[in-house]
Homo-oligomer: A and B are copies of this chain.
Amino acid sequence: MTDWTRMTLAGFQRGLARGEFSPLDWWRACRERIDARDPTVQAWECLAPEPAIAAQDGGPPHAPLGGVPVGIKDIIDTTRLPTTWGTRGYHRVDRADMDAAIVTQLTRLGALPMGKTVSTEYAYFQPSKTRNPHDPTRTPGGSSSGSAAAVAAGMVPVALGTQTVGSIIRPASYCGVVGFKPTHGTLSVAGLKALAPSLDTLGWFTRHLEDTRTLFTALTGSPPIRALTRLDGLRVGLCRVPGTHSPSPETAAALEGAREKMATLGAEIGTAGLGASFDELVTHQQVILAYEATRALASERERFEASMSPALVALLDEGQRLSLADYWASRQAADRARFTLSQQLAARFDVLLAPSAPGVAPEGLASTGDPIYSRVWTLLGVPCVNLPLHWTPQGLPVGVQLIADRYQDQRLLSIASALMP
């Protein structure tokens, strides 16, 4: 019997071509899995009705993503499904006038929207109902909580996420799935609720790294990405984290495991710094986030402040106190840090290896965990991929991330493939 929770995108296309599967098989299997698992995990804000076979039929012939069920984070506009922006009550947006650009792109490639996955409030920190599939007493991380959890629970092979602080890499680490944040601006954010546009990045979650390569190729129309099996001659920079933010033993073990594996595969491992100090860059990321969020959500605050979480109101208050000079200073610092990182990477490293999160998913659902290890990379706009390489004896995942310079996404995924064939 087909194990749909382990199916790859390419495997499904091969099966379709051979007539082993019909276009709705995967969609139906996912729906069954959701019925079984979602009462516990609660990854979905709403589910789509079964697509009409006549209309869809797995998409156009040989569509690269024909029949692939996809979860859509609920800050992404959809005309056929309600949108809530992760908020509650009267300011539910319901059906948008237009589909977000990514939704049209995906459906044109043959993908089948499975439903909207739970987001934290406006993709900021206030958690919603989703639980970690590996331990329902723990957070799945956020803000792409439902997307990470849905993929981890085998409910869907692909789900869209966005990262403004650490909203793809951290939940991917906590849920034990591949999470990919491309170079800032690679995919269009038209039709997504903006939080901080110069940071907001659209990406996704998959179970298999191969599927992330397939998706990248399909969504960008670029050539297939070669999966490396050896890393001979490649230079890896191990990112030191300052003492005040030092990772848990689990994260340290995950990092050490990845370092060892990369060395075994032939890579040269060095130690990387960040140019500017880690804490300074974290501060600049927070300034840009608060300043831009306060302006981007000006109308939402005007109308819906009464139902906003204290955490969000605090962010918007912080942004209100920041001056244009503060904001511009942080943007200039980010410009400089991007330039410095590019030079350092060109001279010394092909990729960087860094922790994805401080440890395993924290207990409780009141917080989505600390995004500290993603702030700098989001600020710098570089592509990052979480690899779920380490599991604790209790069965909890701990990821590591590989990072490359902007516009090196394909090379990053190529190198990462050696670690996760």
Contact = CB atoms under 8 A, between A and B. Distances in A.
Interface in A98-119: 98-101, 103-105, 108
A331 interface: yes
A258 B324 CA distance: 30
A325 interface: yes
Given A332-B407, A339-B339, A299 B103 contact: yes
A23 B3 CA distance: 70
Interface stretch (A4-12, A152-160, A191-199, A352-360): A191-199
A407 B328 contact: yes
B222 A296 contact: no
Pick the most buried of A100, A189, A197, A298: most chain B CB atoms within 10 A of its CB. A298
Contact of A188 (B103, B188, B295): B295
A222 B188 contact: no
Nearest to A295: B188
A324 B222 contact: yes
Contact of A407 (B105, B185, B222, B331): B331
Given A220-B324, A292-B188, A298 B104 contact: yes
A39 interface: no
A185 B55 CA distance: 41
A297 interface: yes
State the oligomeric state as a number of copies: 2
Contacts of A186: 324
Interface residues of A, number: 42
A104 B303 CA distance: 10
A53 interface: no
Nearest to A99: B299
A198 B222 contact: no
A197 B108 CA distance: 22
A297 B101 CA distance: 7
30 contacts: A97-B97, A98-B303, A99-B299, A99-B302, A100-B299, A101-B295, A101-B296, A101-B299, A105-B298, A108-B298, A186-B324, A187-B295, A188-B197, A188-B292, A188-B296, A188-B298, A190-B194, A190-B197, A190-B295, A190-B296, A191-B299, A197-B197, A220-B324, A221-B324, A222-B323, A222-B324, A222-B325, A328-B407, A331-B407, A332-B407
3 cross-chain pairs, A with B, having the tightest CB-CB distances, nearest first:
A188-B295, A190-B296, A104-B299
Given A104-B298, A222-B323, 4 more contacts: A190-B197, A190-B295, A190-B297, A221-B323
